[in-house]
Amino acid sequence: MLKLKNKIINKKARVAVIGLGYVGLPLAVAFAEKGFKVSGIDTDAQRVERIRHAKSYVTDVSNALIARLIRRKIFNVTTDFELLRQADVVIICVPTPLKRKYTPDISFIVSAVKSIAKHLHKDMLVVLESTTYPGTTEEFIKPELEKSGLKAGKDFYLAFSPERIDPGNKNFAVTEIPKIVGGLTPACRSLTGLLYSKVIRKVHQVSSCRAAEMTKLLENSFRIVNIGWINEIAQMCHALNIDVWEVIDAAKTKPFGFMPFYPGLGVGGHCIPEDPLYLYWKAKLHNFNCKFIKLAADTNHHMPAYAVTRLKAMLGRNFKKARILLLGVTYKKDVKDLRKSPPLRLIELLRKQTRVDYYDPLIPYLKLDGLDMRAVDLTPAKIKKYDVVVVAVDHSAVNYDLIYKNARLIFDTRNVYNGRMDKKVVKL
């Protein structure tokens, strides 16, 4: 332990990051920026080639930064797991999707761990960052790695430290977000806390891997439940002829006991739609029915269908012959990410019943999940041709005044026209 500890303190520890997506790449770059020699490993050869040519696919990592780190020879990328033999620290940042409804798929973790096991050596620190159900580190990763004959907590060290990256959030870079660390043993926890303290401003240690795994799921379940609740409130307010946005603005003047959440077309990205369902699944194995998570997930999933219902009410008998323009198709404002995007579900529903086009300043074309569409030009003449414009995502780069001046009708799901009190704008 002392040898690895000194390597970390002196930034001589060689760090390998498995998985170079929205979590792994910013983390790998953060370690390299602080002076550690970092190797990124990914099974996607095209992704690796892009990084080698300093072409970033992650909003928060610039091409110039990657080029500088590669030039300094402190950051390299590969598809070859043999490189793990030289690593002192291995951090797993692979996807954890759902296999089918409410069932976790940890196959990417399984694959990464099996690769690590082949190259595991004494004094190696293995850290899982991928979001998963409580018990994964202790119940699966530990016995899998111990098949090597090495013992966790004695010969090698094992910990869980959940990722907390928020893509596109310029106020909270990966190094500014406090890091939760839970180790299999006190020594595992201590080493992992020391490691992250070299790159992240604040580290908070918890008693176990299970506590750290549960912390991440609490955070994301808190969000899915509150978003589901405010989406239900939005539907309720519409039924009662009340402006939900006005109510939220009024409620958030209270300096305690209230935190504003905002309605929309649902939840997207990888974390919020899926992570809480890992907890739902694990709880059911212990005969505990987590009702809030299930209800919130169902409510959020229903929002695109609810939007179609509202559009039908707005357009009446003209709905089937209508031309609809959707503004924004990403799952989140100002982020080029389509993972589980609610606007995409809305497009799929609308295309079955009427005509729909889209505009998104970040997505010039859509070619996925059966969709093959190109973004339209946002000109006054084009806008006037549509029966209704749906504000699905409130991207900063959209000229909303241009749309207001030329649109016949606007369905505003993001409250970009806050304060407009005329019949042209209909709010969610």
Q: Is residue 215 part of a domain?
A: no
In this structure, the answer to whether residues 245 and 132 fall within a common structural domain is: no
In this structure, the answer to whether residues 238 and 138 fall within a common structural domain is: no
With a cut of 90, say whether residue 251 has pLDDT above it.
Answer: yes
With a cut of 90, say whether residue 305 has pLDDT above it.
Answer: yes
Among 234-248, 268-282, 295-309, the range scoring the smallest mean pLDDT is 268-282
In this structure, the answer to whether residues 24 and 54 fall within a common structural domain is: yes
Task: Give the sign of the dihedral formed by CA 140, CA 143, CA 148, CA 154.
Answer: positive
Q: Which of 143, 37, 27, 142 is nearest to 93 (CA)?
A: 27
User: Who's near 219: CB < 8 A, 6+ residues apart?
Assistant: 164
Strands (E), 87-215: 89-92, 98-100, 103-104, 125-128, 157-160, 179-183, 203-206
pLDDT value of position 418: 92
186, 208, 230 - which closes a domain? 208
Q: Is residue 270 part of a domain?
A: yes
pLDDT value of position 11: 97
pLDDT value of position 426: 96
Write out the catalytic residue numbers: 271
pLDDT value of position 203: 98
Task: With cut-offs at 50, 70 and 90, classify the pLDDT of residue 369.
Answer: confident
Q: Is residue 168 part of a domain?
A: yes
pLDDT value of position 107: 95
pLDDT digits (tens, 9 = 90+) for 122-178: 999 999 999 999 999 999 999 999 999 999 999 999 999 999 988 878 888 899 999
Show the CA angle centred on residue 22, arms to residues 19 and 25, nearest 5°. Answer: 55
Which residue carries 């019949």 as its tokens? Answer: 423
pLDDT digits (tens, 9 = 90+) for 324-358: 999 999 999 999 999 999 999 999 999 999 999 99
With a cut of 80, say whether residue 100 has pLDDT above it.
Answer: no
Task: Give the sign of the dihedral formed by CA 281, CA 286, CA 288, CA 289.
Answer: positive
160, 178, 208 - which closes a domain? 208
Rounded to two decimals, the pTM is 0.91
Burial of 406 (0-12, 13-18, 19+ CB in 10 A): middle
Q: Which of 222, 226, 230, 267 is nearest to 249 (CA)?
A: 230
DSSP per residue, 87-108? -SEEEE-----EEETTEE--HH
Task: With cut-offs at 50, 70 and 90, classify the pLDDT of residue 184.
Answer: very high
**Full residue range of the structural domain in which residue 377 is found:** 221-427
pLDDT value of position 294: 92
Among 67-76, 94-103, 238-247, the range scoring the smallest mean pLDDT is 94-103
In this structure, the answer to whether residues 141 and 257 fall within a common structural domain is: no
CATH of the domain at 55: 3.40.50.720
In this structure, the answer to whether residues 24 and 122 fall within a common structural domain is: yes
pLDDT value of position 166: 86
pLDDT digits (tens, 9 = 90+) for 188-225: 999 999 999 999 999 999 999 999 999 999 999 999 99
In this structure, the answer to whether residues 132 and 268 fall within a common structural domain is: no
pLDDT value of position 116: 98
pLDDT value of position 52: 96
From first CA to last CA, the distance across the chain in angstroms is 57
In this structure, the answer to whether residues 277 and 413 fall within a common structural domain is: yes
Return the C-alpha torsion angle 375, 379, 384, 390, nearest 10: 50
